[in-house]
Amino acid sequence: MKFKKVYICSSCAAQYSKWQGQCPACGKWNTLIEDVISESLPKERKNITEFSSPAIKLDKACQSKFERKKTGISELDRALGGGLIKGQIALLAGPPGIGKSTLMLEAANGCSKNGLISLYISGEESCEQVSSRAARLKVKSENIYLMSETNLVKIIEEIKKIKPSVAIIDSIQTIYHPEIGSASGGISQIRECAAELLRMAKQNSISLFILGHVTKEGDLAGPKILEHMVDTVLYFESEKSGAYRLLRAQKNRFGPVDELGIFEMTDTGLVCALDSFSFVSEDKESVCGRARTVFFEGTRPVTGEIEALVNKTFYPYPRRIFNGIENSRAQMLVAAIEKNVQLRFDTYDIFAGVKGGLKTKDPACDLAFCAAVISSLRDIPIPGDWAFLGEVGILASVSSCSYLSQRVAELERRNFKKIFIPASFKEKKESKVDLCRVKDLKELYSRISAKAQ
C-alpha cells in the first residue's frame, strides 16, 4: 500500500496536497491539518445510510413514529429531547476528564434497567479498568457488555454478533480502520471510522454514542467533521466553579437544542439536578454590582446572577467585556441606561456577565443586567434576597417577558423578599413577596438608590 501526505480542512474536510493558510473551500483560516492517507483508497464511495427507495407519493409512505427509549439518566434524556431513538447517532464531545465515560456507563446502566442491551467499547482503557470504574459507580447488570478494542473491523463484527440496542464508542480518537494508513485520531481515520459506524448503526437500528475529545483550546479537529455526520451533538462541559457539569445539545435532528442537562459530580458518580435549579448561594448580603434573576434553560427555570464591575478606565477607549450575554444586547442596554437615567459610562470600563460561566439569551435578564451595572457604577449595594425580572427595550422601557408568573413563583419559593417586575405585570393571587413595579430604567434607578440612602 502506498501512502501520501495530504492536508485536510478540519472544518469542511476538503483535501489539499499543499498547506495553505486559508481553506479555499470554506474560507476558514488555519484549519488545514496534515494527515496521511493510502493512495489505494477505494474510489467508489459507499452510502452513509442504506436507505434507498424509488420515489413514492407522500400519503403512501407509511409513517413510523419516533419511539423514544429512556436512558434512565433524567438529565441525559432531557438533553436528548426526551430520550433515545432507535438508530440515533449521538456525538458526546468534551474535554478529557470531564466525565464522559462516567456518564456513558451510567447511561448503559439506566438502559439495561429498561431491558435494553448495551455494549461499551473502550479504546482508552482495558476491560478491567472499565469494570473497576463501573464498580465504583455501582453499575452492575447482565445486560451490559464490555469490550476493549481499537480495531474498527473487530468492533463492527462484535456489534453484529451481540446485537445491542445501545452501543458506546469511547472514544472515536482511539479507533482505527485497518485499511486506512494514517494514525488513529487523524481526520481521515475519524471520518472513515465514523462513516462506517454510522452505516452499521443505521442498518441495524442501533442507538450509537460516539465519544470525542475536545482540547482545552477548543480545537475540535475530529469532532468538527463528525458534527455534520451525526444526528445529535452533545457538549459536556464544566461550569466555572467546577461543581457542576453541563450537558448541552448543539444539534438534534430529533428534538430541541435549547435544553440543558445539569449534573453534580460526586464520588459515586454524576447526580442529576432537580427540575428547578439555582446557581445562587444562600447568602442574603448586600453587594454592589450583583443582581439576581431567573432565566430559562429550555423548559427549566434557573436562578442565577448577573455580575458587573464598572470602574474608571485607564485607556483612551473604555473597555466593554461581556460574558455569557450577547455583546450587542449588552451595549444597547448600557446605551439605554446612559440616555434614560443620565449616567455617564464614557470614562468607565464595564465588565459584566452571568456568574458561573453560564450563557443566556433570555431577555428577562435585561433588568438584572441594568441593575448590576447601575449598582456598580454608583456603589449601591443590592440585597441578596432581591431579584429583577423584565425585558428592557431600546427606549429604556421595562416590558413583560415569557413565563413571568412562573419566574416570580420560583423566586418566592426560594425565599426572595423583593422582586422588581415590569409595571404591566398583573398578578391575581396574593403574593408574600414585595413586588416592585418599574416602568423604565429611570424608575429602577430611583427605587434602588432610595434604598441605599
To Zn ion, the closest distance from the beta carbon of 31 in angstroms equals 6
Question: What is the C-alpha separation between 53 and 26, in angstroms, rounded?
Answer: 32
Contact 313, 409 (CB under 8 A): no
To Zn ion, the closest distance from the beta carbon of 30 in angstroms equals 11
For Zn ion, the closer CB: 144 or 225: 225
Question: What is the C-alpha separation between 219 and 422, in angstroms, rounded?
Answer: 43
Tracing cell 431579584 back to the chain, one arrives at 387
For Zn ion, the closer CB: 16 or 277: 16
To Zn ion, the closest distance from the beta carbon of 91 in angstroms equals 19
For the chain, the first-to-last Cα distance in angstroms comes to 82
To Zn ion, the closest distance from the beta carbon of 332 in angstroms equals 34
Contact 66, 254 (CB under 8 A): yes
Cell reading at 30: 488555519
For Zn ion, the closer CB: 149 or 227: 227
To Zn ion, the closest distance from the beta carbon of 371 in angstroms equals 44
Task: Give residue 344's Cα distance to chain centre.
Answer: 36
Q: Which of 66, 51, 38 is nearest to 199 (CA)?
A: 51
Bridge partners for 418 per DSSP: 386, 434
For Zn ion, the closer CB: 14 or 287: 14
Q: Which of 347, 311, 308 is nearest to 324 (CA)?
A: 308
Q: Give Cα separations from 67 to 86, 87, 203, 207 (angstroms).
A: 7, 11, 17, 12
For Zn ion, the closer CB: 69 or 224: 224
Interface residues with Zn ion (CB under 5 A) are 9, 11-12, 14, 23, 25-26
Cell reading at 262: 445539569
Contact 118, 134 (CB under 8 A): no
To Zn ion, the closest distance from the beta carbon of 58 in angstroms equals 36
To Zn ion, the closest distance from the beta carbon of 32 in angstroms equals 8
Beta-strand ranges (E) seen in 281-433 are 287-288, 290-297, 300-312, 320-323, 348-354, 381-382, 386-388, 391-392, 398-399, 418-422
For Zn ion, the closer CB: 26 or 153: 26
For Zn ion, the closer CB: 17 or 342: 17
At residue 197, what is the residue type?
L
For Zn ion, the closer CB: 26 or 41: 26
To Zn ion, the closest distance from the beta carbon of 227 in angstroms equals 14
To Zn ion, the closest distance from the beta carbon of 324 in angstroms equals 29
Residue 412: exposed, middle, or buried by beta-carbon count in 10 A (0-12, 13-18, 19+)? middle
For Zn ion, the closer CB: 9 or 229: 9
Residue 144: exposed, middle, or buried by beta-carbon count in 10 A (0-12, 13-18, 19+)? buried
